[in-house]
């Protein structure tokens, strides 16, 4: 597997950990990814984290309910890896273009 493939695999794992609250956003960081991608992973993780009202988690991408933390984590990686990588890539670009306009 090429190196870039490994990094892309990690991105969906990071997002799934955040979405299922196995890791808190403030604890998530990695020196191997660009800053905009780290921020994108945090944003997409928060977007995909939702409770279904019964104390369980639901999948924002397909509406599946009644998932445990571990269940949501595995569901996101197995069923939505491509979508998650796409969301992170687009969010990363959005953050980058915003930074070009409003220099922070």
Nearer residue to Zn ion within complex by CB, 61 or 89: 61
Nearer residue to Zn ion within complex by CB, 40 or 59: 59
Q: What is the rounded distance in angstroms from the CA atom of residue 21 to the CA atom of residue 10? A: 16
Nearer residue to Zn ion within complex by CB, 22 or 62: 62
Q: Which residues bind Zn ion (CB under 5 A)?
A: 59, 61-62, 64
In the bound complex, what is the minimum distance in angstroms from residue 66's beta carbon to Zn ion?
A: 12
Which neighbouring-strand residues pair with 51?
57
* Token pair of 64 as six digits: 């599946």
In the bound complex, what is the minimum distance in angstroms from residue 54's beta carbon to Zn ion?
A: 17
In the bound complex, what is the minimum distance in angstroms from residue 97's beta carbon to Zn ion?
A: 28
Nearer residue to Zn ion within complex by CB, 2 or 63: 63
In the bound complex, what is the minimum distance in angstroms from residue 42's beta carbon to Zn ion?
A: 20
């Amino acid at each position: 597997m090429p190196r870039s493939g490994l990094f892309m695999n990690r991105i969906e794992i990071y997002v799934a950990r955040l979405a299922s609250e196995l890791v808190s956003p403030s604890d998530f960081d990695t020196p191997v990814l660009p800053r905009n991608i780290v921020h994108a992973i945090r944003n997409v993780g928060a977007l995909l984290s939702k409770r279904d009202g019964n104390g369980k988690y639901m999948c924002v991408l397909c509406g599946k309910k009644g998932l445990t933390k571990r269940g949501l984590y595995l569901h996101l990686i197995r069923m939505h890896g491509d979508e998650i990588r796409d969301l992170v890539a687009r969010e990363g670009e959005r953050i980058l273009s915003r930074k070009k306009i409003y220099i922070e």
